[in-house]
């Protein structure tokens, strides 16, 4: 009897399915896309927007092998990923192989986890290709080709060769550039806070001390403390005051667990907890999804599909989680009903599931012998988040104490407040606590003694502290993905490629884990903002994503969507070619050409800045452009300079390279550590720290921003 042919994208997925399905099935991998628009031409008929697809040169052998396998098969099952791109790959496979449905049954099967049960169920319930999803993917591909193919030549001619512009990447660069300009325009404002350290005014008080923060006057009037003079005046008044508890109350606070991961929340949390980039996170998640050898189990998919915007979890998986929680933690850690999470995204694909382990009883500790370190770390993160999402809520007692400071010679009464949090029941927090971005971090609430209204307190000390308002923080991988999702820019499968592309094109770079725009990023963003405002307009980009979602739902036709975009875009392009002048990057320097002794100038090429002789083309001498730091190399004493890696990431290395190969990730400072004399570096949160000892100090804003 003829075998059945199953086609997937990757060899890893093919190996897992081959082991699970056994005899009677032939598994072939397409190795991703097999057809695309041609590389050297637009490939789109601008009259009717019909695409001209070609089989990729490197996939001709793959197509030939699939056709040969199909000719001897009794049926063909297209088992590409369960999303628009996977649907599109299946459609392209049929078109490229020219398989005829009247000669051989061709079926589309969909599964969200690579387990024997899920695959058997998919084979028992075959489908046909959903052309609405295919057309949505076609529309996205053609939109991106129109923007990239038409805008890139403009950037080559007016800015620099080798540049590219993208519909979604340009919006992401704008988000980063706008934030950087907010930081540049920010003017810090001084302000002071005053805390007092108190204790109960009773003999043999053993409950300890606590701190209370000045919040205003007892009549509700706010007290501003703009400078040290005002802080000293208030401190003098507080020294002479008597302190009495005016209010003490304790309230129960319930904290619910976070939902299981979607693509964006996984990428955010993997950055916060593991410092994995979005690209690295998705590569590891792909390995966990497609299947890994787990002892006697053989090849098995460990997590469900990792490109999803849904927090839905299959009822069977929820039941398994609840069973596990009861066995491992006890019934008091189990809510009375399964927890269902509301979908936050407008166009969530309900057929998808959240990212979860395929088998809850397969605990991370059991996989230590079989997984690489990074695979285990990510699996543990996914496993804990999923299980915790079905656990009981955490309960805390939040105690708030208000204190009046009164002077006998004044009618003015100051109001101070102390707050503490005491856990009553940890619930899901025994397993998992969601991380927060730096700007969202909770202030630690220290414990305070038991206090009641009317209790007299003794002042121990007054702690005035100077502060300055801070600019908004630069985007990290986590906060940029969060912003893209909130603004409707991109979709689950696009976040990682967006972040990779804007760095590869050297529009932005990472510095101490945060994105900063390069000069090129500013220039290209400003050019597009002026001449192609819709390309970088976040609302317009989000509206295009909404249109693509509506195509996938069958509510819009894809060709009119393309036409409505391209007609005004073409006119803007025509005007821009005639209106925009060539942008020059040449900047004079004090360097002298070693060949002809003419001044060297800074120029920008495809791979960044470099020095070139101003006597070009008569003299073609070029030299590397080195951004000096003023810091000395700890190994050889030469100056440390800023360098750029292949992926656009900034690092610092010795100017004597390749003789000295010292490098460091963090920006070095010119001065040495006052404690041990070693190298000082710019660290997180505007801190300088020694690269060797424990010395730290806070930086001025100019130093920390560079």
Task: Supply the Cα-derived Rg of the chain in whole angstroms.
Answer: 31
Q: Checking phi first, is residue 291 left (phi over 0); if not, alpha (psi -120 to 50) or beta?
A: left
Which strand (E) or helix (H) includes residue 7? strand 4-8
The answer, as to whether pTM is greater than 0.75, is yes
| Residue ranges of the chain with per-residue pLDDT less than 50 | 347-350, 702, 704, 706
The three-class DSSP label of residue 497 is: helix
Start-to-end CA distance of the chain, whole Å, equals 71
What DSSP designation does 79 have?
Answer: -
Please give the pLDDT value at position 490.
86
Tokens standing for residue 437:
């971005």
For residue 668, CA distances in Å to 219, 473, 632, 656 come to 51, 21, 9, 16
Judge whether 305 counts as a catalytic residue: yes
Question: Are residues 673 and 681 in contact, defined by beta-carbon separation less than 8 angstroms?
Answer: no
User: How is residue 382 written in tokens?
Assistant: 């996914």
Instruction: Answer yes or no: are the C-beta atoms of 616 and 596 closer than 8 Å.
Output: no
Q: How many alpha carbons lie under 13 Å from residue 612 in its C-beta half-sphere?
A: 17
Tell me the C-alpha distance between 164 and 153, whole Å.
8
* SS3 letters across 311-345: CCCCHHHHHHHHHHHHHHHCHHHCCCCCCCCCCCC
In the block, tokens 């006057």 appear at 217
> Residue 640 in contact with residue 668, Cβ under 8 Å?
yes
Residue 685: the pLDDT is 60
Q: What is the dihedral of CA 434, 437, 442, 443, to 10 degrees?
A: 140
- Tokens 């397409």 belong to which residue? 30
Distances (CA, A) of 627 to 15, 640, 641, 654: 49, 9, 5, 11
- The 3 state secondary structure assigned to 438-470 is HHHCCCCCCCCCCCCCCCEEEEEEEEEEEEECC
What is the pairing mode between strands 242-255 and 413-425? unpaired
Domains of the chain: 4-129 (3.40.50.140), 141-185+473-579 (1.10.460.10), 208-256+394-468 (2.70.20.10), 263-388 (1.10.290.10)
Residue 516 phi, psi dihedral angles, 5° rounding: -125, 135
CB atoms within 10 A of CB 498: 21
Q: Exposed/middle/buried for 508, CB within 10 Å: 0-12, 13-18, 19+? A: buried
**pLDDT one-digit tens code per residue, 435-453:** 887 656 556 677 888 899 9
Decide: 282 and 268 in contact? Cβ < 8 Å.
no
CB 197 within 8 A of CB 461: yes
- Three-state secondary structure call for residue 140: helix
Q: Are strands 75-78 and 4-8 parallel, antiparallel or unpaired?
A: parallel
List 25, 77, 243, 305, catalytic entry = 305
How distant, in Å, are the alpha carbons of 6, 63, 97 from that of 71? 13, 12, 11
Neighbours of 460 (CB within 10 A): 12
Sign of CA dihedral 148, 154, 160, 162: positive
What pLDDT is stored for residue 179 in this prediction?
A: 96
């Amino acid at each position: 009897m003829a075998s059945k042919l199953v086609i997937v994208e990757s060899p890893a997925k093919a190996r897992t399915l081959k082991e699970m399905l056994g005899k009677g099935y032939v598994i072939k991998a397409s190795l991703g896309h097999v057809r695309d628009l041609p590389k050297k031409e637009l490939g789109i008929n601008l009259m009717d927007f019909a695409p001209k697809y070609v089989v990729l040169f490197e996939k001709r052998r793959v197509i030939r092998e699939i056709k040969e396998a199909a000719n001897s098969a009794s049926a063909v099952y297209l088992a590409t990923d369960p999303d628009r791109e996977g649907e599109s790959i299946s459609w392209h496979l049929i078109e490229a192989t020219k398989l005829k449905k009247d000669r051989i049954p061709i079926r589309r099967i969909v599964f969200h986890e690579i387990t024997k049960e899920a695959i058997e169920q998919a084979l028992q319930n075959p489908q046909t290709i959903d052309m609405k999803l295919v057309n949505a993917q076609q529309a996205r591909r053609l939109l991106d080709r129109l923007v990239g193919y038409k805008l890139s030549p403009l950037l080559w001619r007016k800015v620099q060769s080798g540049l590219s512009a993208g519909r979604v990447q340009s919006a992401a660069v704008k988000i980063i550039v706008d934030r950087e300009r907010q930081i540049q325009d920010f003017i810090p404002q001084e302000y002071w806070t005053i805390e007092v350290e108190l204790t109960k005014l009773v003999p043999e008080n053993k409950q300890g001390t606590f701190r209370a923060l000045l919040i205003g006057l007892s009549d509700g009037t706010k007290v501003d403390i703009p400078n040290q003079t005002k802080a000293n005046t208030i401190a003098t008044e507080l020294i002479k005051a008597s302190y009495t508890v005016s209010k003490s109350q304790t309230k129960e606070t319930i904290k619910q667990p976070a939902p299981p991961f979607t693509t964006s929340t996984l990428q955010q949390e993997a950055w916060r907890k593991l410092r994995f980039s979005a690209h690295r996170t998705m590569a590891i998640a792909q390995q966990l999804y497609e299947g890994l050898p787990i002892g006697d189990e053989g090849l098995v998919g460990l997590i469900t599909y990792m490109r999803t915007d849904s927090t839905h979890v299959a009822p069977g998986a929820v039941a398994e989680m609840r069973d596990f929680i009861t066995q491992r933690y006890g019934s008091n850690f189990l809510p009375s009903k399964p927890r269902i999470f509301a979908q936050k995204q407008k166009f969530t694909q309900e057929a998808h599931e959240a990212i979860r382990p395929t088998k809850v009883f397969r605990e991370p500790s059991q996989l230590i012998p079989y997984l690489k370190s990074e695979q285990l770390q990510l699996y543990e993160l996914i496993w804990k988040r999923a299980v915790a999402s079905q656990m009981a809520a955490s309960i805390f007692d939040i105690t708030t104490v208000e204190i009046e400071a009164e002077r006998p010679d004044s009618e003015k009464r100051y109001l101070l407040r102390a707050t503490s949090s005491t856990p009553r029941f940890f619930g899901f927090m025994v397993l998992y606590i969601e991380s927060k971005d730096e700007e969202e971090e909770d202030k630690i609430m220290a414990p305070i003694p038991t206090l009641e209204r009317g209790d007299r307190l003794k002042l121990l000390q007054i702690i005035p502290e100077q502060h300055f308002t801070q600019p908004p923080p630069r985007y990290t991988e986590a906060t940029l993905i969060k912003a893209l999702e909130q603004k409707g820019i991109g979709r689950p499968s696009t976040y990682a490629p967006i972040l990779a592309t804007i760095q590869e094109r050297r529009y932005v770079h990472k510095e101490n884990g945060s994105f900063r725009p390069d000069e090129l990023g500013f220039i290209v963003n400003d050019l597009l903002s002026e001449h192609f405002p819709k390309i970088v307009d976040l609302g317009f980009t989000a509206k295009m994503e909404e249109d693509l979602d509506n195509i996938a739902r069958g509510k819009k036709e894809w060709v009119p969507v393309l036409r409505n975009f391209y007609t005004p875009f073409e006119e803007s392009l025509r005007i821009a070619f005639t209106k925009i002048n060539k942008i020059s990057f040449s900047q004079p320097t004090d360097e002298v050409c070693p060949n002809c002794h003419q001044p060297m100038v800074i120029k920008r090429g495809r791979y960044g800045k470099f020095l070139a002789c101003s006597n070009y083309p008569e003299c073609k001498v070029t030299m590397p452009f080195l951004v000096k730091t003023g810091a000395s190399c700890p190994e050889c004493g030469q100056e440390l300079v800023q360098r750029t890696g292949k992926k656009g990431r900034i690092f610092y290395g010795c100017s004597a390279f390749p003789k000295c190969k010292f490098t460091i990730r963090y920006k070095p400072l010119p001065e040495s550590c006052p404690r041990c004399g070693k190298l000082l570096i710019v660290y997180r949160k505007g801190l300088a720290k020694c690269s060797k000892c424990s010395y730290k100090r806070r930086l001025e804003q100019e130093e920390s921003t560079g």
